[in-house]
């Protein structure tokens, strides 16, 4: 699962995901994302979903973990480029407000 | 007359089919050893289940059997004036024969029946179907941990049974009937050789496989022959499981003894 | 074969202990639609469901999944198919020895390498969906029948299935919970485009959720169509079914009398004796 990390600004990081984010790929993405949150002192993390065709519940659960880690550090998490499927998945988990989709 | 022949044929066919199914069942359980998910925790739970269910019963049985052996042995041996052999008589009969058999029978009665009922209930409540529909192999998920646990627990319980039985014999022979303690222990240590212990261990492993195999098989196929899936089928399967497991333990005991002697 | 059909059934017969319970069933289950299989109890609809989820083997060339013959699936093919489906059994079929959240975690633990924390959050998401988020650590025996069924639904949804099979969703539920379950089924189809197959005898809920209805009677297919088509059907048996009229008992007087009077009779002996065992 390709995952690209950009430090766009001093306090702003962007992660671009490519490929499905489901129960098969979630373990690796989780590892990378948690590492990014831990190592970088970024105050805000942006995750780009424009290259993610499919978001599964496992992906949503990982996002919840990342969000929790970010809030603990006082940072913010923003999801951009969500397609319809991903949006529906997040809404079905009743997390639409939390992720502002 | 034709009816009789037909009936006989049907019974024979059923028997062969049942044996084949049992074989397949066992094969799938063995195959499940290497399959996910990890079985450490579930196996450990089963060891605890078998152990705690049977520990006290086996302790009791072993102690009293040892004590009876002490009494009877003393009575018999004193006729030949060889009370000193009591230690070896008690030790040999427990380690070679009674320890493994009694333990296996007790575990069958306590844990084997419970296992059969547990699996049987899962069958009638569609839980096994549910596992299959999740693409989880029920053999590997449910039965394999029980088999491994049986292979761990039964030899240990047998050892426990042997020790307690010998202690019971010692108690009666030495403390009550006045056989010399030195002679008892000396007879025990000199006459029990590795071959005897080995036979006991082989037996307990075989009994573990037989017991778990028969009890889980009966539970797994509870009601499938009758075509009904009600509580009666589970109780019927449990009864059958205990009876068949006990019989096969006794029969195989004879076979193993005759091979290893 | 049309690519819009998820599952296609052709000429399916089924026998149970020497008695035929399904007669020449044939219809297609379309992609991303709700198909409701209806009929009164004992009509063979649950048997049909068991064929569709591969619990009851059918002859080759009878059931096709996306054009592939289910009869030719080997163990691996069947496992692959089953990873794509979720099944809610009539009783919920929760594992007694595990808590509700552990129940949901079973397929995830076996099939994925997800961390325990991720799995916990996923179970919570699914349980919240069925309205049981507060019952994460309850044992199945502590739940009511309806709650067990909803927990079973949460477990069926654990792996984000493409196809969801539901056996009698509303039986044993109070009307409000049952309606909630119907809404959830519709939402799943709407949002995730799930293909959903529901087996039920409740006419109201069937009409509410169905895109396609399949009406069965005594192992025979009576009608297939949209709820409107079914309702405007002219078929006598279908109409009677919709009006919930009791079927006229076809009493075989002769056999009845001979049974009463102890004379030997042959016809129908087997079927009457074995009626208890149909699943």
Q: Which residue of C has its CA nearest to A29?
A: C114
Q: Quick check: B134 pLDDT over 50?
A: yes
Per-residue pLDDT tens digits for C35-55:
999 888 778 888 899 999 998
User: Residue C39's pLDDT is what?
Assistant: 85
A69 lies within 8 A of chain C by CB = no
Listed range (A54-58, B70-74, B116-120, C170-174) with the worst mean pLDDT: C170-174
C279: Cβ contacts below 8 Å, ≥ 6 apart:
B229, C16, C46, C47, C50
* SS3 readout for C99-164: CHHHHHHHHHHHHCCCCHHHHHHHHHHHHHHCCCHHHCCCCHHHCCHHHHHHHHHHHHCCCCCCEE
- The pLDDT score that the predictor gives to residue C248 is 53
Q: Is the Cβ of B121 closer than 8 Å to some Cβ of chain C?
A: yes
pLDDT at C276 over 70: no
CB contact (8 A) between residue C129 and residue A57: no
pLDDT at C81 over 70: yes
CA distance C182 to chain A (A): 15
CA C143 to CA C149: how far, in whole Å? 9
Cross-chain Cβ contact C118/A30 below 8 Å: yes
pLDDT given at position B220: 94
Nearest-angstrom CA–CA distance, C165 and C35: 10
Q: What is the ipTM of this complex?
A: 0.89
Whether the predicted pLDDT of C250 surpasses 70? no
Q: Which helix (H) or strand (E) holds A76?
A: strand A76-80
User: How does C235-247 read in b/e, with b if 16+ C-beta sit within 10 Å?
Assistant: eeebeebbeeeee
Alpha helices, DSSP H only, in chain C?
45-52, 75-83, 100-111, 116-129, 145-156, 175-192, 203-209, 227-231, 236-242, 253-261, 269-273
Q: Which residue has the tokens 């969000």?
A: A67
Is the pLDDT confidence value at B180 over 60? yes
Quick one: residue A19, left, alpha or beta (phi over 0 = left, psi -120 to 50 = alpha)? left
The answer to whether C107 contacts B134, with C-beta atoms less than 8 Å apart, is: yes
- pLDDT of residue A2 exceeding 80, the answer is no
What is chain C's Cα-based Rg? 20
Q: Is the peptide bond before B37 cis (omega within 30 degrees of 0)?
A: yes
Residue C130 near residue C150, CB atoms below 8 Å: yes
- pLDDT for C253 equals 75
Provide the shortest C-alpha distance from residue B3 to chain C (in Å): 17
Q: What CATH architecture is C5-84+161-277? A: 3-Layer(aba) Sandwich (3.40)
- The predicted structure's pLDDT at residue C246: 52
Q: Which two tokens stand for residue C55?
A: 């619990």
- The CATH classification of domain A3-92, taken from the options 3.30.70.60, 3.40.640.10, 3.30.750.24, 3.40.50.1820: 3.30.750.24
Closest CA to C10 of C70, C50, C53, C55: C70
| List of residues 6+ apart from C261 with CB closer than 8 A | none
Cα–Cα distance, B86 to B173 (Å, whole number): 7
Q: Tell me whether residues B134 and C96 touch, CB distance under 8 A.
A: no
Quick one: DSSP state of residue C255? H
More confident residue, C269 or C213: C213
Q: What is the pLDDT of residue C275?
A: 43
Q: Report the range of poorest mean pLDDT among B145-149, B186-190, B228-232, C242-246.
A: C242-246
| pLDDT class of B224 with cuts at 50, 70, 90 | confident
pLDDT number for residue C145: 85
The pLDDT of B177-189, averaged and rounded, is 88
pLDDT in tens, B28-49: 999 988 877 678 888 999 999 9
Structural domain boundaries of chain A?
3-92
Provide the mean pLDDT of chain C: 84
In sign, the C-alpha dihedral spanning C177, C182, C185, C189 is: negative
pLDDT for C266:
52
By the CB < 8 Å criterion, does C96 face chain B?
yes
The model's confidence at residue A8, banded by pLDDT at 50, 70 and 90, is: low
pLDDT at C48: 92
Residue C96 with chain B: CB contacts under 8 Å: 121-122, 125, 127
């Amino acid at each position: 699962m390709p995952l690209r990390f950009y430090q766009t600004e001093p306090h702003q990081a962007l992660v671009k995901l490519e490929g499905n984010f489901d129960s098969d790929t979630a373990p690796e993405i989780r590892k990378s994302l948690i590492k990014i949150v831990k190592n970088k002192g970024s105050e805000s993390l942006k995750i780009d979903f424009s290259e993610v065709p499919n978001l599964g519940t496992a992906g949503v659960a990982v996002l919840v973990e990342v969000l929790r880690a970010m809030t603990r550090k006082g940072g913010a998490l923003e999801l951009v480029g969500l397609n319809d499927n991903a949006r529906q998945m997040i809404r079905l988990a009743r997390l639409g407000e939390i992720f502002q989709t | 007359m034709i009816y009789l022949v037909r009936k006989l044929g049907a019974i024979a066919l059923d028997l062969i089919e049942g044996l084949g199914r049992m074989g397949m069942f066992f094969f799938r359980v063995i195959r499940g050893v290497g399959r996910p998910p990890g079985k450490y925790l579930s196996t450990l739970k089963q060891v605890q289940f078998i152990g705690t269910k049977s520990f006290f019963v086996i302790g009791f049985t072993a102690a009293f059997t040892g004590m009876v052996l002490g009494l009877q042995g003393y009575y018999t041996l004193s006729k030949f004036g060889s009370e000193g052999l009591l230690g070896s008589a008690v030790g040999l009969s427990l380690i070679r024969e009674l320890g493994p058999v009694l333990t296996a029978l007790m575990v069958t009665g306590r844990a084997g029946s419970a296992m059969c009922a547990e699996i049987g209930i899962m069958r009638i409540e569609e839980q096994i179907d549910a596992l299959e529909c999740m693409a989880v192999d029920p053999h590997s998920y449910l039965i394999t941990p029980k088999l491994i646990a049986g292979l761990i627990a039964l030899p240990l319980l047998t050892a426990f049974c042997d020790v307690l039985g010998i202690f019971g014999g010692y108690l009666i022979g030495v403390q009550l009937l006045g056989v010399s303690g030195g002679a008892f222990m000396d007879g025990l240590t000199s006459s029990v050789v590795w071959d005897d212990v080995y036979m006991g261990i082989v037996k307990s492993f075989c009994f573990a496989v037989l017991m778990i195999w028969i009890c889980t098989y009966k539970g797994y196929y509870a009601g499938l022959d009758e075509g009904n899936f009600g509580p009666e089928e589970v109780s019927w399967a449990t009864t059958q499981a205990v009876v068949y497991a006990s019989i096969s333990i006794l029969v195989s005991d004879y076979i193993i003894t005759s091979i290893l002697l | 074969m049309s690519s819009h059909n998820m599952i296609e059934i052709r000429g399916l017969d089924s026998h149970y202990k020497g008695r035929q319970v399904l007669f020449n069933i044939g219809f297609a289950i379309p992609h991303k639609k709700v198909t409701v299989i209806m009929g009164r109890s004992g009509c063979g609809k649950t048997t049909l469901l068991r064929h569709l989820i591969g619990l009851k083997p059918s002859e080759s060339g009878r059931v096709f999944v996306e054009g592939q013959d289910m009869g030719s699936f080997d163990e691996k093919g069947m496992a692959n198919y089953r990873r794509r489906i979720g099944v809610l059994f009539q009783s919920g079929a929760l594992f007694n020895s595990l808590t509700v959240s552990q129940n949901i975690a079973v397929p995830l633990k076996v099939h994925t390498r997800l961390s325990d924390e991720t799995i916990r959050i996923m179970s919570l998401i699914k349980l919240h969906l069925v309205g049981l988020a507060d019952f994460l650590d309850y044992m199945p025996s502590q739940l009511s029948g309806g709650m067990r069924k909803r927990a079973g639904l949460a477990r069926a949804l654990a792996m984000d299935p493409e196809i969801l099979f539901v056996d009698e969703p509303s039986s044993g539920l109070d009307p409000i919970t049952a309606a909630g379950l119907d809404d959830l089924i519709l939402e799943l189809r709407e949002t995730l485009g799930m293909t959903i197959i529901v087996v039920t005898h409740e006419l109201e809920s069937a009409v509410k959720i169905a895109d396609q209805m399949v009406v069965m009677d005594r192992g025979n297919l009576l009608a297939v169509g949209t709820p409107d088509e079914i309702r405007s059907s002219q078929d006598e048996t279908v109409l009677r079914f919709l009006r919930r009229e009791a079927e006229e008992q076809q009493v075989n007087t002769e056999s009845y009398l001979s049974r009463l009077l102890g004379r030997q009779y042959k016809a129908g002996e087997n079927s009457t004796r074995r009626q208890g065992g149909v699943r």
